[in-house]
Amino acid sequence: MAPPNGDKGTALLEKLSRIDSGKPPFGCMQCGLCAATCPLGPAMEYPPRKLILQTIAGNLDKVLTSPSLWMCVACYACSKRCPRGIELTEELWPALRDAAMQEGHQPPAELQETFQNVFKYGNVLGKSPRQRLQWAKDLDVRVLDLSKDPKPVDVLWLVGCYPSYYPRNQGVARSFARIMTELGVSWGILGTKEKAVGECDRMFGEEGLFETLVEQNRQLFDEQDFGKIVVLDPHAFRALQSFYPRFGAWYPVQHYTQFLEEYIEQLKPLMVKPVEAVVTYHDNCCVGRRCECYDPPRELLKLIPGVKLVEMSRNRDDSLCCGGGGGGMWLDAHIVANGGRRLSDERVQQAADTGADTLAVSCPYELSRFEDAAKVTGLEGKLKVRDIIELMAESMDLGERSIA
Amino acid sequence: MSDNETLRIGVYVCHCGTNIAAVIDVEALTKFAEGLPHVALARNYKYMCSDPGQELVKQDIAEYGLNRIVVAACSPNLHEPTFRRAAEDAGLNRFLVQMANIREQVAWVTEDGELALEKAKAHVAGAVRRVARHEALQRQFVRITPRAMVVGGGIAGIQAALTLAEAGKEVVLVEREPSIGGHMAMFDKTFPTLDCAACILTPKMTSVKVNPNIKLLTYSEIESVEGSVGNFKVKVRRKPRYINEDLCVGCMQCIDGCVFTQAKFPNSFDQGLGMRKPVWVPFPQAVPPVPVVDPEVCLQIARGKCKQGCVEACGERGAFDFDQQEKIEEYEVGAIIIATGFKAFDPSVIPYYGYGKYPNVYTSLEVERLLNAGGPTGGKLILRDGSTPKKVGIIHCVGSRDVNYHEYCSRVCCMYSLKIAHLVREKTGAEVYNCYIDIRAPGKGFEEFYNRVQNEGVQFVRGKVADITPVANGSGPLVMKVDDTLLGHIREIEVDMVILAVALEPHADAGEVRRNFGISCSNEGFFLEKHPKLAPVNTANDGVLVAGACQGAKDIPDTVAQADAAAAKALAMIDAGEIELEPNTAWIDEEMCSGCKTCINLCPFQAITADEERKIAVIDQALCKGCGTCVAACPSGAAKQHLFGDRQIDEELEGLMNYV
Ligand SMILES: Cc1cc2nc3c(=O)[nH]c(=O)nc-3n(C[C@H](O)[C@H](O)[C@H](O)COP(=O)(O)OP(=O)(O)OC[C@H]3O[C@@H](n4cnc5c(N)ncnc54)[C@H](O)[C@@H]3O)c2cc1C
Ligand code: SF4
Ligand code: SF4
């Protein structure tokens, strides 16, 4: 019997039966745990459970045209809990979005713009690649640009789009450069040649674009001689760890929290200045929930004298997403227009409820998302949002010497 | 047998209906067999295992003087005994028969007919050359010790012990808790009939106590197991009770007499919801009705100083003995039934249900204790603050049907959740929401019970609850967030109490029990039966049987049925009086043995001892399992094995490899 959607239905189901991680969706028992777990589930016309049901039943046209297809923010909560081990976040949603785009159903405009930015400029912000090194201007430590001066290094640091261009994040990049130098790490960057890793493109079903990026990045990486890649962006970490190898592009990669944790003993005596703050840490979804790496960021925070670490009621496994993952960064308007809410607003409130004055993060998106959220929810001035790197640099007294 | 005896081998090729004949050209195979050395006759037949098939072999032995038989048919696991018996009936030693497995190893696994024929030829040639080297062997039997041991005194162990004892057999029943009864003793009512659990269980417990054939060892654990089917030697570790079981009359006055006026230590039988004193019994109908003293908290034992109100209350009965020490006792038994039951899943590992974090989230087992008249609240279903819940949520499949915890269905949770729903409504009139994925009610009377509970007004919500959060901070009401998959939208249901229908899982020490008794576990950790359909109570270790929830999650009716089945198996074994040993045991060629003792430590079954006087190794034929370890290890070539001699193996290989 031919499936109701003919060839495209067959192709999609065929694709879903050959997925790379987790179990295929055909084993779904319609328990609805995913739908009720999803922070945006109540607002979705087709939350994950219904998405599967309709897809298997052959009602593809319904799900591919629904606004809810563009509401998942890749928080991994559903995948993590699904009792049948179905990888919804990384497999089902991207496959359906890919199918939708192939059918000519476009994602929300803001997201399309982001794809185009990546396509044209190699970064999500649509900035000129020539300005990629702007963040390092007048920096008081030596920055080795491997694209100009290829040398063997231990660490190839992918600075990332936000830390390269976005003013609020540039300080984080500068601090990280100083911390690595202080630790005596041999590191280098790709300078103006660096490109987005493309995680959001894959999660959003832009598979063609993603493949192009993998190819371009593979060439760039293969020109260099390095021990491992270190990234600030958890999404880039996940992409390099899990999606790149599917194209044969395998590189050892660490998120910066994992990387720095290996230097704990060396870092201890370097923490000279107390940072008096009550800090609560927000687990990001990619390094946290998906890879179950919960301790390194906390261990780093515990190193800092003066910091009192408190936990939000939802932490680790149960952490609430900031809403920025897998392209969610450019979906706030779409989500709110379709009855959803900004998860970052809720999350800063949860942080404030702990009595903390500082919300520590380890993801470039979260800085601006949570700062905006603090403004919207009236927490501005009461709750500071800071990257772990910033807190560490402050304690290590690695301030903006050259600038100040 | 000597080389110069005239060999007359008969070869029989079976069609097995079409199982073999549809793939292998049986005529060609027969022709091929005729041409093999020493083959006096070769035939093929539709069903060799049928009566006429066996008759054929018997007649040919008589008529043609055959002295070796090869049957090319199915796996020897199935019909080797059949053809051995046929040969024996015709006066031939039963071990002069060899099977060539051309069904499982050839026909079923080879598509190409020509290749299959070639492969079958190799098998037949191997069997013919091997059987030429077979020798007549004597069958060996061992006597069975007419006594059984049952490990675990839940309903499974109780039932099995009673069935054996009532048939006049001696039984040693070992239970690690202070009383027998297992989980069933914790319940108030049992589904689907709502029998009062105590009313049907305690008479059986009393029978165990008074039956002279049962030796009851409570507060005891298995230390080690030696020997094999028919003759096991089991060491049992008996923990000190500090009360002499022979002198105690079960008056329980010591508990009143204890210097602790308040019971303040969590009672494990009540899941920690009730308190006990240092001297305690788990429940009033405990068997034996003898208290135990907890050495961790008893002042006399822990600190060496106490007024000993208990001893005073015991008075001239004089049952107290604070000097009691752990003892190891050894029992010889012929068969063992393992009935160690299950453990309830600990839901605190599921972060989103908040068990251990929100006080009004309970496990089903805790609620069973609250509902029980003998429980910590005297049968009142109340929250920790003493109030009665007005709305109760029951979450099915907690830890079951979930790849993150246990992938299997625990089989009883749907039904006990319905039972609890009924009892909650009956006792409190509360609104009850059963959140389920599928209701599984396949037993006798189960569907009817489901229907009854529906009609009693219980709300059924089809969906797995995703989150439990308190309405406000603290210990108040809770909100269950659930995708009501039938209504098609996500609901938030406010309740005062959440009951988690937790999975049944193997005990943490199941691995240790498994090793002690030489049996296996399935993936999920329950003990593995020998065959899921045809040998559901046997295990891979002959003489060791399993019954009840330790073999897989199951309810009381199934547990009792399985316990009786295991008891019947044990009875059959004991009544047979003796058991035939496998013929393929190892033996020592005394002339060749240098007495180096290499083999002794290698034997996994401790079957080899050293005869120090004669300076040779001796193998106990009853203990040898024929694994061949010593045979391969012996540096002098003195360890040999029946049916697996060097020449037998060499010849078989020759035949297999150079069959043309
Ligand atoms: C909440 C709940 C409610 C239930 N309600 C019902 C119901 O209403 N009706 C129904 O039919 N079924 C019900 N069941 C299922 C029922 O509990 C089981 O079918 C039954 O208890 C199985 O009996 P068992 O003897 O195999 O195991 P258990 O009852 O677990 O007994 C095993 C015994 O072995 C002992 N033991 C364990 N390990 C060792 C060891 N190493 N050495 C010595 N002794 C050991 C234990 O202490 C225990 O006494 C319910 C289950 C649960 C969890
Ligand atoms: S949680 Fe898994 S099994 Fe349950 S409805 Fe969602 S996808 Fe299906
Ligand atoms: S990944 Fe998160 S946002 Fe996406 S469907 Fe699953 S739970 Fe919802």
Angle, helix A343-353 to helix A364-376, in steps of 10 degrees: 80
Q: How confident is the model at residue B38 (pLDDT cuts 50, 70, 90)?
A: very high
Question: What confidence tier does A404 reach under pLDDT thresholds 50, 70, 90?
Answer: very low
Q: Which fold has domain B343-505?
A: FAD/NAD(P)-binding domain (3.50.50)
Place of tokens 């295992």: B49
Strand-strand pairing, B231-238 and B220-228? antiparallel
Cα three-residue angle B223-B227-B233, rounded to 5 degrees? 45
Q: Whose CA is nearest to atom 48 of ligand 1?
A: B182
Return the domain boundaries, chain A: 8-102, 109-261, 266-395
Residue nearest to atom 8 of ligand 3 (CA): A38
Query: Is A170 in contact with A389 (CB distance < 8 Å)?
Result: no
Q: What pLDDT, on the 0 to 100 scale, is given for residue A1? A: 43
pLDDT for the residue B660: 67
CATH classification number, B586-642, choose in 3.30.70.20, 3.20.10.10, 3.40.50.920, 3.40.50.300: 3.30.70.20
- The domain defined by B9-137 folds into Rossmann fold (3.40.50)
Q: Are A363 and A234 in contact (CB under 8 A)?
A: yes
Residue B117 CA, ligand 1 centroid: distance in Å: 54
Name the average pLDDT for chain B: 96
Report the pLDDT averaged over residues A340-359.
Answer: 96
Query: Token pair for residue B514?
Result: 């498994």
Question: Ligand 3 centre from A48 Cα, in Å?
Answer: 7
pLDDT tens for B440-489 read 999 999 999 999 999 999 999 999 999 999 998 778 999 999 999 999 99
B483 to chain A, any CB pair closer than 8 A? The answer is yes
Residue B364 C-alpha, separation from nearest chain A C-alpha, in angstroms: 20
**Ligand 1, pocket-test mutation among B180, B236, B336, B556, most atoms within 8 A of CB:** B556
B344 within ligand 1 shell (Cβ under 6 A): yes
Model confidence band, residue B1 (pLDDT cutoffs 50, 70, 90): very low
| pLDDT of B628 | 93
B485 touches chain A (CB under 8 A): yes
At B240, which amino acid appears?
P
pTM of this prediction? Answer: 0.89
Given the CA of residue A47, which atom of ligand 3 is nearest to it? 5
| Residue that is written with structure tokens 């797995």 in the block | B464
State the Cα–Cα distance between residues B331 and B506, nearest whole angstrom: 26
Q: In what order do the strands lie in the sheet with B327-333?
A: B220-228, B231-238, B327-333
Under 8 Å CB-to-CB from B532, ≥6 apart: which residues? none
Q: Provide the shortest C-alpha distance from residue B390 to chain A (in Å).
A: 24
Does residue B366 line the site of ligand 1, with CB under 6 A?
no
Which pLDDT band, with edges at 50, 70 and 90, does A385 fall under?
Answer: very high
Q: Rounded distance, CA A69 to CA A50, Å?
A: 11
Question: Which range (A31-40, B17-26, B169-178, B618-627) has the least confidence?
Answer: B618-627
For chain B, the structural domain boundaries read: 9-137, 253-317, 343-505, 586-642
Residue range A4-53, pLDDT digits in tens:
566 777 788 888 888 888 899 999 999 999 999 999 999 999 999 999 99
Task: Read off the tokens for B217.
Answer: 């060892």
Cβ distance A81 to B397 less than 8 Å, yes or no, reads no
What pLDDT sits at residue B624?
87
Class in CATH terms, A266-395: alpha beta
CB contact under 8 A, B485 and A42: no
pLDDT tens-digit readout, A160-219: 999 999 999 999 999 999 999 999 999 999 999 999 999 888 888 888 999 999 999 999
Nearest chain B CA: its distance from A32 CA (Å): 5
Task: Give the tokens for residue B307.
Answer: 């007024």
